[in-house]
């Protein structure tokens, strides 16, 4: 503007056109650069997303490719002659005698008989290492349950030791020098001989789903951890759902707007962002050392996780309650319902899908949580399947942690398989939440 005013030229329009042409030239010259910048910037965004997606793909790829082998197991079919001389020389069928018999000898003798030319003491020991220690327990279980088997020949299908399982699946190969692997060439030869005889089979790994933890990879499973998870989640759900919904209802529907309710609100928001390990410290100091509740128990684990998930559920429930339009409340109040009746009979049922979605998401968080449970002693090595909320137990994520720390190579596959099971549960829960939201959510 000022330019024009100060311009004393007799043909201002011409001059302006000139300037405009110059400016548009400048713009045109810059355009190429600017468009290139535009494309570059867009490419950065796409790259960022591609990187994130790449991470997801690598993560899942590694877990699945590591974990798939654990879903099959290598078993050996052994023909075992349950000789009365070894099991019950007294022939009185005294259960105590039967239980204490030397089943090891029984299994080992029959197994060694397959390789008559192995005579050296050391070779014999190496040979029996093909068998899992579970073979002895399995036959002991069978015979003590049914003493009628004594004197008969039974066919036993038992897992082979974990290293041979890996060899059979091709994870351990002969290409590696003998000194660099745990199996000797001789052992591999014997194993190949067994394969040729058709005694080795690969089948779906039922052990993994029917056993609790064990020091022997081939005998370890997730049943114990799954049961522990079930009990822990049960306690968490029973505590956090009612309390969180009640708190949300009070804060959203009844609470007067004053300092106190404001403090509660700020508190809940901050509690949702407190690191989970701090909740573990709370559980250790309060529940275990102050109240003297049992260590390692799903009861305490559930209580800690309940405190942790409560803020999530409260926040989701409040959002769901807020979404119910005031007209519903007004209509009910107009018909003479009390405030409590309005909430209990109209608002809460309408908000329920949203509340349940929030609860499932909160429970999914709790299901994957590990750190606070380490604090309250749920990391113990537990071989029994827990039967109640006060038994020592561990949960799936902690089982993953324990196995990931084990030095045996066979546990890598087990760990990945346990992760796949855990992720399976999480996917199921999240899908349920999405379904619930899609099916029942109402837009007013």
Partner 1 sequence: MSFYLVLIALIGLTVTGYYLGRSRAIKSVDGNARILHSRPHYYGYFVALWCGLPAILVLAVWTTMQTPIVESIIQSSLPASVTSDDPAQLSLIMNDIRNLASGNITSGEITSDLRETADRFNSLVAIGDLARFGVILSIAIAAIAFFRSRITPSFRARNRVERILLVLLIISSTIAVLTTVGIVMSLVFESLRFFEKVSPAEFLFGLEWSPQTALRADQVGSSGAFGAIPLFAGTLLISFLAMCIAGPVGLLSAIYMAEYAPTKVRNTVKPLLEILAGIPTVVYGFFAALTVAPLMRDTGLDLGLVISSESALAAGIVMGIMIIPFVSSLSDDVINAVPQSLREGSYGLGATKSETIKRVILPAALPGIVGAFMLAISRAIGETMIVVMAAGLGANLTANPFEAVTTVTVQIVTLLVGDQEFDSAKTLAAFALGLVLFCVTLCLNIIALTVVNKYREQYD
Show contacts with partner 1 in window 251-280 (CB under 8 A): 251, 254-255, 263-264, 267-271, 273-279
Q: How far is the CB of 340 from partner 1 (least distance, A)?
A: 4
Residue 142 makes contact with partner 1 by CB under 8 A = no
Q: Which is nearer to partner 1, 38 or 94 (CB)?
A: 38
Q: Phi and psi of 441, rounded to 5°?
A: -65, 135
The answer to whether residues 159 and 218 touch, using CB atoms and an 8 Å cutoff, is yes
Which contacts of 340-348 are long-range, i.e. CB under 8 A and separated by 24 or more positions? 343/249, 343/253, 343/254, 347/253, 347/321, 348/245, 348/249, 348/321
**Count of residues of this chain found to bind partner 1 when the rule CB under 8 A is applied:** 88
Which residues have C-beta within 8 Å of that of residue 310, sequence separation ≥ 6? 240, 243, 244, 247, 271, 362
Q: Which stretch binds partner 1 (CB under 8 A): 32-40, 73-81, 114-122, 220-228?
A: 32-40
Interacting residue with partner 1 among 51, 96, 120, 155 (CB under 8 A): 51
Residue 234 makes contact with partner 1 by CB under 8 A = no
Q: How far is the CB of 330 from partner 1 (least distance, A)?
A: 19
Q: Which is nearer to partner 1, 244 or 351 (CB)?
A: 244
Q: Which stretch binds partner 1 (CB under 8 A): 106-114, 155-163, 225-233, 285-293?
A: 285-293
Site for partner 1 in 75-134 (CB under 8 A): none
User: How many beta carbons lie within 10 A of that of residue 411, not counting itself?
Assistant: 19
Closest listed residue to residue 362, CA positions, set 313, 395, 319, 433: 313
Q: Which is nearer to partner 1, 5 or 46 (CB)?
A: 46
Interacting residue with partner 1 among 166, 244, 363, 410 (CB under 8 A): 244
Residue 291 makes contact with partner 1 by CB under 8 A = yes
Q: Binding string to partner 1 for residues 164 to 193, with x set by CB under 8 A, is what? A: ------------------------------
Site for partner 1 in 329-368 (CB under 8 A): 338-340, 364, 367-368
Say what angle helices 410-440 and 12-67 make with each other, to 10 degrees. Answer: 120
Cα torsion at 169, 170, 176, 178 (round to 10°)? 30
Q: How far is the CB of 222 from partner 1 (least distance, A)?
A: 14
Q: Which stretch binds partner 1 (CB under 8 A): 4-12, 160-168, 184-192, 281-289?
A: 281-289
Residue 238 makes contact with partner 1 by CB under 8 A = no
Strand partners, 74: 202
**What's the half-sphere exposure (Cβ side, CA atoms, 13 Å) at 391?**
18
* Cα separation, 314 vs 355, whole angstroms: 9
Q: How far is the CB of 431 from partner 1 (least distance, A)?
A: 11
Q: How far is the CB of 186 from partner 1 (least distance, A)?
A: 31
Interacting residue with partner 1 among 68, 149, 223, 243 (CB under 8 A): 243
* Cα separation, 181 vs 162, whole angstroms: 13
Residue in the block written with tokens 């919904």: 245
The answer to whether residues 390 and 300 touch, using CB atoms and an 8 Å cutoff, is no
Q: Is the dihedral of CA 170, 172, 177, 178 positive or negative?
A: negative
Query: Which tokens is 327 given?
Result: 């007209």
Residue 150 makes contact with partner 1 by CB under 8 A = no
Q: Which stretch binds partner 1 (CB under 8 A): 30-38, 108-116, 135-143, 145-153?
A: 30-38
């Amino acid at each position: 503007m000022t330019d024009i005013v100060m311009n004393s030229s007799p043909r201002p329009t011409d001059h302006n056109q000139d300037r405009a042409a110059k400016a548009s030239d400048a713009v045109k010259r810059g355009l190429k650069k600017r468009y290139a910048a535009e494309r570059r910037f867009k490419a950065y965004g796409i790259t960022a997303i591609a990187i994130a997606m790449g991470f997801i793909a690598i993560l899942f790829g590694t877990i699945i490719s590591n974990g798939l082998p654990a879903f099959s197991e290598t078993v050996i079919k052994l023909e075992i002659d349950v000789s009365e001389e070894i099991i019950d020389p007294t022939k009185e069928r005294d259960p105590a005698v039967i239980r204490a018999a030397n089943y090891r000898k029984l299994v080992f003798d029959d197994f060694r008989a397959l390789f008559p030319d192995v005579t050296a003491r050391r070779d014999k020991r190496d040979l029996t290492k093909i068998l899992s220690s579970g073979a002895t327990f399995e036959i002991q279980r069978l015979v003590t349950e049914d003493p009628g088997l004594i004197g008969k020949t039974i066919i036993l299908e038992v897992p082979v030791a974990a290293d041979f399982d890996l060899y059979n699946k091709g994870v351990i190969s002969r290409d590696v020098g003998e000194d660099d692997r745990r199996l000797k060439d001789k052992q591999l030869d014997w194993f190949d001989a067994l394969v040729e005889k058709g005694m080795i089979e690969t089948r779906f790994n039922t052990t993994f789903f029917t056993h609790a933890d064990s020091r022997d990879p081939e005998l370890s499973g997730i049943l114990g951890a799954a049961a522990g998870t079930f009990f822990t989640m049960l306690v968490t759900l029973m505590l956090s759902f009612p309390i969180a919904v009640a708190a949300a209802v009070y804060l959203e529907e009844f609470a007067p707007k004053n300092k106190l309710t404001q403090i509660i609100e700020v508190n809940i928001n901050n509690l949702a962002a407190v690191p989970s390990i701090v909740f573990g410290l709370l559980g250790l100091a309060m529940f275990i050392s102050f109240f003297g509740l049992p260590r390692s128990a799903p009861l305490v684990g559930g209580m800690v996780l309940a405190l942790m998930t409560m803020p999530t559920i409260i926040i989701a429930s409040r959002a769901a309650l807020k979404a119910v339009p005031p007209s519903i409340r007004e209509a009910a109040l107009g018909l003479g319902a009390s405030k409590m009746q309005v909430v209990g009979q109209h608002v809460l049922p309408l908000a329920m899908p949203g509340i349940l979605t929030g609860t499932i998401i909160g429970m999914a968080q709790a299901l994957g949580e590990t750190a606070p449970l380490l604090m309250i002693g749920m990391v113990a090595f537990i071989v029994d399947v827990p039967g109640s909320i006060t038994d020592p137990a561990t949960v799936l994520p902690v089982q993953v942690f324990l196995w990931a720390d084990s030095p045996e190579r066979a546990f890598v596959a087990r760990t990945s398989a346990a992760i796949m099971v855990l992720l399976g549960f999480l996917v199921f829960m999240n899908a349920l939440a999405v379904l619930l939201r899609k099916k029942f959510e109402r837009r007013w």
